Structure 1
Amino acid sequence: MKPRIGVIGCGYWGSNHIRTLASLGHLAAVADINAARAEGFGSEYDVPGLTPQQAIESDELDALVLALPPQFHAETAMAAIRTGKDVLVEKPIALSVADAEATVALAREADRIFMVGHVLRFHPAFEGLKKLVDDGVLGELRYIHSHRVGLGKFHTENDALWDLAPHDLSMILALTGQAPVDVHGEGAAMLDHLSDFAHLHMRFSDRLKGHLFASRLNPYRERRLSVVGTKAMAVFDDVEPQHRKLALYRHTLWQDNGAWAATQEEPEYLPVEAGMPLTRELEHFIDCVRTRNAPRADGHEAIDVLKILTAGTVSHDRTDR
């Protein structure tokens, strides 16, 4: 079986899905509410350019990738599932936990593959970091913190937390294997009513805590996930070049006359496999459609991420300037 996959949404990220699926030989249609845009991409990649409803109803498609404004994800995904299609839905899969749970439940009842677009779960450097955790190299996890900051990417519906944090939350959940038992959020809106800065403080069981900082009004770009364990520490830094994206720090801590001391070790940069995260994500989705195996980033993970986002959301008015 060679899954025939369509993409609904020909915007910035949807165009990346289109290009990648075409390179993998699985692009069968494109769709957009803007007919001219759909026809343009269809002509470029020699596939039908459809309306979203035509793609949902098409018997020539086995699965759909949804890269839409998030307020349309749940409704479109459920419509696609009802016509027997597997779906990969970009993050966030809905704007409420209730809608997300309803979508995932429908996919389960219909025996359809449901996957969420947490693309950094498929980054080779993150996969290397997760292996360090799984193999016990870092010992017991004590603290995880992520920084995802930069300038730009303003949305009319999504604030900095909902736009930027899902990637890091999905990685944190994968590393810990559990959802936080307590979440506290702080935010600030500088431009309008949507937060441009967001802090999340998370407390897990087993003495494990996490912290996340996301900003779209920052003078420099940072994409860093740090993990502190009882034996060692590791950092996934996506801004660094390929050979420095995954660093292991074998610091040693001890007590000397009741005071803590530490040795500062130089980082050990670990080899990272080649491969683009989006390509690896779509290859995984294609394999799940073909084999009917559950996806690595499934609907339950998407719901857990939404629960954290909801718990950490801060409502406020525009900051006076």
Structure 2
Amino acid sequence: MAPRIAVLGCGYWGSNHIRTLKSLGALHAVSDANPARAEGFAVEQEVLAIAPEDLFARDDIDAIVMALPPQFHAEMAIRAVEAGKDVLVEKPIALTVPDAERSVAAAKAAGRIFMTGHVLRFHPAFETLKDLIDRGDLGEIKYIHSHRLGLGKFHTENDALWDLAPHDLSMILAITGAAPVEVRGEGAALLDHLSDFAHLHMRFPNGLRSHLFTSRLNPYRERRLTVVGTKSMAVFDDVEPWERKLAVYRHAVWQDSGHWAFTANEPTYVPVGEGMPLTRELQHFLSCIETRAEPRTSGEEAIGVLRILTAGTVTHD
């Protein structure tokens, strides 16, 4: 029998979890501070609607997916794991590193699974890119830059950095396998006191550099991760159709008689199997519940992302 999952938080992203878990045969209940909203999803999906204060004591719930405003994640995650539930907590898992550390420590002490919703780690194009890097196809990685731009969404608690950057930081940390030794942030708040644009500059122990740019006030969508190696460069562009999402550029650069020369080659598009990242993420969560394996996107990884966000945050009056 599949693990019985409840989704706590029936907002925009919570609704995606609800429908995906239903398709996987694992949705048992929904819960929200707004009873009418929870009841609507319960009727639609033919599952239980349970009030948040009653959710943790239920014996018929094995695990909880939390898609709440981030200021509530740590408290609710701690309550859940101490009640014996495994959890998948959407990003960011907390607004401070100490709160994140407390919730992850509580899960470890209780012997519960703690997974973070860094969904792009489960994108088939990123998984293929990671395989190319691990095989050495790109050579030694020297530079990574990511752009995540668009119009909206606007939150009262999260600025552009905290809302948009966690996915890219998760991918960057997966590639580098190390925390940065230096983080420098720049931001600009145009609408209120929260940054609408943000840049992060990072330096890693082996000299690798990385740059991240996020914006929620951009006229077009951009979802691009570029990895520059000594042999090749690769681009994961999630705006492109599936057959063009992952491109490898085998450019050549060399010195000739004391001068730099280069050849620019057309990209090779790497075949990527189609698949919905959220479905694959939740399948991984179900597998971890059943096998008790450490999730690919663990709580420790989420703490590493939060440390970078905290170091790179620029405050505005």
TM-score category (smaller protein): over 0.9
The equivalent of 2:286 in structure 1 is 286
Alignment of 1:261 onto 2:247:
no
Deviation sequence 1:251-283 (CA, Å, 0-9, x none): 111101222111101000000111100000000
Alignment of 1:245 onto 2:253:
no
The equivalent of 2:80 in structure 1 is 80
Provide the secondary structure at the position in 1 that maps to 2:3.
coil
Provide the secondary structure at the position in 1 that maps to 2:6.
strand
Distance 1:226 1:44 in 2: 41
Distance 1:230 1:128 in 2: 19
Distance 1:116 1:297 in 2: 5
The equivalent of 1:129 in structure 2 is 129
The equivalent of 2:112 in structure 1 is 112
Distance 1:259 1:180 in 2: 33
Deviation sequence 1:78-130 (CA, Å, 0-9, x none): 00001000000000000000000111111111110000000000000000110
How far did 1:54 drift? 1.6
The equivalent of 1:163 in structure 2 is 163
Provide the secondary structure at the position in 1 that maps to 2:309.
helix
Distance 2:54 2:288 in 1: 24
Q: CA RMSD in A?
A: 0.6
Distance 1:252 1:245 in 2: 22
Distance 1:133 1:34 in 2: 45
Amino acid corresponding to residue 282 of structure 1 in structure 2:
L
CA contact (8 A) 1:29 1:55 kept: no
How far did 1:229 drift? 0.4
Alignment of 1:60 onto 2:67:
no
Amino acid corresponding to residue 74 of structure 1 in structure 2:
A
Aligned residues: 317
The equivalent of 1:307 in structure 2 is 307
The equivalent of 2:204 in structure 1 is 204
- Structure 2, gaps ≥5 residues long: none
How far did 1:37 drift? 0.6
Distance 1:4 1:262 in 2: 57
Provide the secondary structure at the position in 1 that maps to 2:136.
coil
Provide the secondary structure at the position in 1 that maps to 2:56.
helix
Q: Describe how 1:214-253 pairs up with structure 2 within 5 A.
A: 214-253=214-253
The equivalent of 2:6 in structure 1 is 6
The equivalent of 2:173 in structure 1 is 173
TM-score (norm 1): 0.98
CA contact (8 A) 1:88 1:285 kept: yes
TM-score (norm 2): 0.99
- Structure 1, gaps ≥5 residues long: none
CA contact (8 A) 1:160 1:214 kept: yes
